[in-house]
Amino acid sequence: MSTVRTSQKSMLDQLLIQDKWKRDDLLDLGIRVIDAPLVTVGGGLGSFALADHLRVAGVPASEIVVLGPCSDPSDTYRRLASNSQIPDNERLRSDSGSTIDNIWGFPSYALREAWHDRSLTPLMKVATEPILTEYFTPRAGQVYAGVDRECDRIGWSSMFHKGWVRTIRPDRDGGYFVLFTVEKGLAVDGRRQIERIAFRCRTVHVAVGYPGLALLPDLASFRKRYPDHSHRVSNAYEPHDHVYDELSHRSSTIVIRGSGIVASRVLQRLLDDRRTLGTNTRIVHLFRHYVDGPQGDSPRFRRQGGGGFAYQPFNFPKAAWSGQLREHLEGLESSERADLINRMGGTNTAPRKAWQRQLAEAREAGVYLQRIGRVTDIEPTGSGLRIVLDPSDGGSAIVEANHIVDATGLLAEMTQHRLLADLLTHCGAGQNSKGRLDVDPDFEVRGTRSGEGKMYASGAMTLGGHYAGVDSFLGLQYAALRITDQMSNDGLCRALSPGRNASGWTRWALGRPPRNRRAA
Amino acid sequence: MTPTLAGRIQTRLLLLSTIGLAWVVLVAALLGGSASPSYTDRLRAGVAALIITMLLGVVWELVYHAAQQYRWEKDWPTGLALAVGLTEGTAVWFALNTAARRSTLVPSMTVPMFVVVFGTTWLLIWLFASGPMRVVALRWRYRGGRLL
Ligand SMILES: Cc1cc2nc3c(=O)[nH]c(=O)nc-3n(C[C@H](O)[C@H](O)[C@H](O)COP(=O)(O)OP(=O)(O)OC[C@H]3O[C@@H](n4cnc5c(N)ncnc54)[C@H](O)[C@@H]3O)c2cc1C
């Protein structure tokens, strides 16, 4: 038995070296091959957006295969959001029209909230944003509930298969094989049992989100050197409630690294806890680059900034999603695109009055302190940490704290993701100027054509392409629309024509499933 | 929707010449009364107001687009799109009066009638562009209002 398994493993290893596969290669290994017109890999919100568009275009649920580890497409998002202090009742950072559960953006989240709460406030907010009020943003819970409803409507559970995609390889006869691994529990000998299935498809879509969590190098090295103290160093995207628990029991000092939206959320949580739970927490906010005023030389391209933060309501200017900046970016060369994306994006947070007020009060009370510098060493002490700085603000080189929270971001290197790295080595995919997956304006992964087969990608890993807001609800929908349009040009589905949209929308409004219509 | 210059102009021309026209035809009929001008005159005045809104609008759009360049977001807040109806309406009113004085083809309108015709048309188009337009023209919002 075990020799059979070993020889199968070495045959699989042999196969994994090859750039192209044949159906027989897989069958010889005892791997089941299932034919499917389209496979979307990831099963998160990017896969959901594509499946939603295709279903509205008339593609039957039986022709769409979704592969991923979580059956609910909001799962990964929800986990990252709640870890980074956005519980269901908090508001997100996208606008009212970025309705991930509705491909048309109508009715908007504000309209639905107004209807649900029988209140005009959300509508007044949209009508006066951002001049008299701040931009309306939906509550996280409203977004999740909408996704759940839309999943039921489009038959998501019938498209979804739980597991991990190991690799994608071109079929010698055109199209792709998507090698999928399903956990089958434990065997009697205690070994993990898995089943491998290969989906053979003409179109494959990759939307696997971020490769993982990133910890600043000095923090990662601290964790390695002092594993017993690793709970004192947390990434804001990983579960770190133990930090808030400890802070609620004793007076502490916490160091926050990063100045983006997640840092703002963590600061809000800490200051809310001071007010509501009476915690006695002192915050040291450590900046590497300090923003001390508006950014940009031209009055026509200047972003608000000051007090350490670069401010903009969303992670890019609004016109990057749908206006003149989108058009401008689409026409640029790779390196120019990277430059414009950096200038429009980078680390920034939302200019929310409530946050700014909270910080100003905390600073006044001496419980929020800003420092600028580079960390050169971190050592554990009896009950906390001793952080050695190379300060650039003239302050002391030593900061004593109980915890450090790293809010600097997620891991963005695609080579750190097994599947994405494999696309580079075996499928002909390349990297753009931002080091991410090189896609064309229709989100097709350049260099990966296989006969008539096409590979598409969307989400964070395509940043640096022809669209800036790829990692957002509206960006995922934009990518889904461009892909659906391409598939319709290739005769693989019906076009999302005005008539189809009108009837599709009516069915959405009535809660009826989309009507199946095969490509003409 | 975050407009581009071409998108602004195309959307304005399309919506005024379709929904705007249909509404003016209807509202001209609804505004009947013994003291008011005939239906044909009301309709002609309403259509003249629409045409002026389109023509002057192209110039207004250039101004709005220029103003938008000084916003970091390069967007045009929804409320602003509604509010500029006041200034535009005033300009159209003066232009309509001038046209009525100079040409027999353009009948004049009373202030209340103009306010009703222009105000409701503006509001209707704003409401349509803020929502239902996205349903029939799915790509419109991504293209900054461009239809062609
Ligand atoms: C904290 C946070 C807040 C955000 N807030 C907003 C907001 O307010 N508004 C907005 O518009 N956008 C927001 N975004 C951005 C964006 O909408 C989300 O990142 C969204 O979840 C991206 O969808 P995705 O499908 O690309 O990735 P995900 O939703 O993360 O889905 C990818 C899935 O692929 C799976 N996967 C990975 N590798 C494999 C493999 N080999 N095989 C199979 N499956 C695999 C992952 O486990 C994951 O489940 C936010 C993002 C974060 C992290």
Q: In this structure, what token pair is assigned to residue A255? A: 């160091």
Do A259 and A401 reside in the same domain of the chain?
Answer: yes
| pLDDT reported for residue A4 | 61
Q: Helix or strand or coil: residue A160?
A: strand
Sheet arrangement for strand A164-170: A32-35, A192-201, A176-186, A164-170
Bridge partner list, A368: A283
| pLDDT reported for residue A376 | 95
Residue A138 lies in a domain: no
AA letter at A379: E
High-pLDDT (> 70) share of chain A, %: 99
A339-393: pLDDT as tens digits:
999 999 999 999 999 999 999 999 999 999 999 999 999 999 988 999 999 999 9
Coarse DSSP helix, strand, coil percentages of chain A, rounded to the nearest 5 percent? 40, 25, 40
The answer, yes or no, to whether residue A59 has pLDDT greater than 60, is yes
Q: By residue range, what is the domain housing residue A16?
A: 2-76+148-211+414-510
Contacts of B75 in chain A (CB under 8 A): 317-319, 323
Q: Helix or strand or coil: residue A226?
A: coil
Q: Quick one: A227 exposed, middle or buried, by C-beta within 10 A (0-12, 13-18, 19+)?
A: exposed
Peptide bond into A107 cis (omega under 30): yes
Handedness of CA A265, A267, A269, A272 (dihedral sign): negative
Cα separation, A492 vs A488, whole angstroms: 5
The answer, yes or no, to whether residue B62 has pLDDT greater than 80, is yes
Residue A121 lies in a domain: no
High-pLDDT (> 90) share of chain A, %: 92
B70-96: pLDDT as tens digits:
999 999 999 999 999 999 999 999 999
The answer, yes or no, to whether residue A258 has pLDDT greater than 60, is yes
Do A365 and A264 reside in the same domain of the chain?
Answer: yes
Cα separation, A488 vs A56, whole angstroms: 12
Give the Cα-Cα-Cα angle A66, A84, A251 (nearest 5 degrees). 155
Cα separation, B43 vs B49, whole angstroms: 10
The answer, yes or no, to whether residue A243 has pLDDT greater than 60, is yes
Pocket of ligand 1 (CB under 6 A): A 41-47, 67-70, 76-77, 80-81, 84, 92-94, 98, 164-165, 207-209, 419, 459-460, 471-473, 476
Do A371 and A493 reside in the same domain of the chain?
Answer: no
Do A420 and A506 reside in the same domain of the chain?
Answer: yes
The answer, yes or no, to whether residue A50 has pLDDT greater than 60, is yes
Which one of B1, B64, B71, B72 makes the best mutation probe of the A interface by having the most chain A beta carbons within 10 Å? B72
Residue A69 lies in a domain: yes
Do A378 and A494 reside in the same domain of the chain?
Answer: no
Cα separation, A140 vs A138, whole angstroms: 6
Do A41 and A160 reside in the same domain of the chain?
Answer: yes
Q: How confident is the model at residue A185 (pLDDT cuts 50, 70, 90)?
A: confident
Task: Find where tokens 């002909």 sit.
Answer: A428
Cα separation, B65 vs A201, whole angstroms: 46
Residue at which a domain ends, from A406, A428, A445? A406
| pLDDT reported for residue B36 | 65
Do A229 and A352 reside in the same domain of the chain?
Answer: yes
Cα separation, A265 vs A349, whole angstroms: 10
The answer, yes or no, to whether residue A8 has pLDDT greater than 90, is no
Give the Cα-Cα-Cα angle A418, A422, A427 (nearest 5 degrees). 155
A286-309: pLDDT as tens digits:
999 999 999 998 999 999 999 999
Say if residues A358 and A271 touch (Cβ distance below 8 Å): yes
Do A152 and A285 reside in the same domain of the chain?
Answer: no
Number of structural domains, chain A?
2
Do A284 and A386 reside in the same domain of the chain?
Answer: yes
Say if residues A408 and A426 touch (Cβ distance below 8 Å): no
Residue with CA closest to ligand 1 atom 19: A471
| pLDDT reported for residue B31 | 84
Q: What is the DSSP string of A284-322?
A: EEEESS-B-S-B-SSTTS-B-EETBEEB-SSSS-THHHH
Residue A25 lies in a domain: yes
| pLDDT reported for residue A6 | 65
Task: Find where tokens 């498209």 sit.
Answer: A159
AA letter at A480: A
| pLDDT reported for residue A294 | 96
pTM confidence score: 0.96
Q: Helix or strand or coil: residue A17?
A: helix
Residue at which a domain ends, from A359, A378, A406? A406
How many residues does the structure list for chain A?
Answer: 520
Asked if B135 lies within 8 A of A106 by C-beta distance, the reply is: yes
Asked if A105 lies within 8 A of B134 by C-beta distance, the reply is: yes
The whole-number average pLDDT for the span A257-285 is 97
Asked if B144 lies within 8 A of A326 by C-beta distance, the reply is: yes
| pLDDT reported for residue A1 | 52
Looking at chain A, which residue has its C-alpha nearest residue B126?
A127
Q: Helix or strand or coil: residue A166?
A: strand
Residue A182 lies in a domain: yes
Q: Ligand 1 atom closest to Cα of A45?
A: 25
Do A479 and A435 reside in the same domain of the chain?
Answer: yes
**C-alpha distance from residue A179 to each of A170, A196, A198, A420, A426 (Å):** 11, 7, 4, 13, 14
Q: Ligand 1 atom closest to Cα of A180?
A: 42
| pLDDT reported for residue A186 | 83
Task: Find where tokens 């690793």 sit.
Answer: A230
| pLDDT reported for residue A411 | 84
Q: In this structure, what token pair is assigned to residue A463? A: 């940043």
Q: How confident is the model at residue B102 (pLDDT cuts 50, 70, 90)?
A: very high
Do A367 and A231 reside in the same domain of the chain?
Answer: yes
CATH number for A204? 3.50.50.60
Q: How confident is the model at residue B34 (pLDDT cuts 50, 70, 90)?
A: low
A442-480: pLDDT as tens digits:
999 999 999 999 999 999 999 999 999 999 999 999 999
Contacts of B81 in chain A (CB under 8 A): none
Residue A44 lies in a domain: yes
Do A260 and A281 reside in the same domain of the chain?
Answer: yes
Residue A164 lies in a domain: yes
Residue A396 lies in a domain: yes
| pLDDT reported for residue B117 | 95
| pLDDT reported for residue B33 | 65
